[in-house]
């Protein structure tokens, strides 16, 4: 199996400006492996942009209903958002 390095900004939620996804191609080259994104931003914009920069894997938190709360519900995707991302 092939390893994938995930770029992650650990703020919960992370601001899009702080995601610094421009490092994804550099990480892939530096570590000679596919790179992706562990995304803690709200919405799907940063994840979509990371694919344009070469991300091969996207990890997003998921909840069936954000209004039910939870530690990461604020930036988790609901089903319709996950469908848009895919």
Q: Region 56-66: what's the mean pLDDT?
A: 95
Q: Is 25 within 8 Å of 31 (Cβ atoms)?
A: no
Residue where the block lists tokens 């994804």: 24
* Each residue's pLDDT tens digit, 6-60: 999 988 899 999 999 999 999 999 999 999 999 999 999 999 999 999 999 999 9
Q: Which residue in 42, 30, 41, 39 sits closest to 6, CA to CA? A: 39
Q: Does pLDDT of 1 surpass 80?
A: no
> How many Å apart are CA 22 and CA 3, to the nearest integer?
20
Which structure tokens are listed for 67?
Answer: 């209004």
Q: What pLDDT sits at residue 32?
A: 96
Q: Region 54-67: what's the mean pLDDT?
A: 95
Which structure tokens are listed for 57?
Answer: 């894997």
Residue where the block lists tokens 């492996």: 33
Prediction pTM value: 0.90
């Amino acid at each position: 199996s092939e390893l994938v390095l995930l770029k992650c900004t650990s703020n919960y939620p992370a601001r899009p400006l702080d995601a610094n996804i421009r490092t994804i191609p550099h990480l892939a080259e530096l570590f000679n492996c596919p790179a992706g994104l562990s995304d803690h931003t709200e919405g799907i914009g940063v994840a979509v942009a990371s694919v344009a920069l070469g991300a091969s894997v996207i990890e997003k938190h998921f909840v069936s209903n954000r209004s039910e709360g939870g530690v990461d519900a604020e930036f988790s995707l609901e089903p319709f958002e996950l469908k848009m991302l895919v």
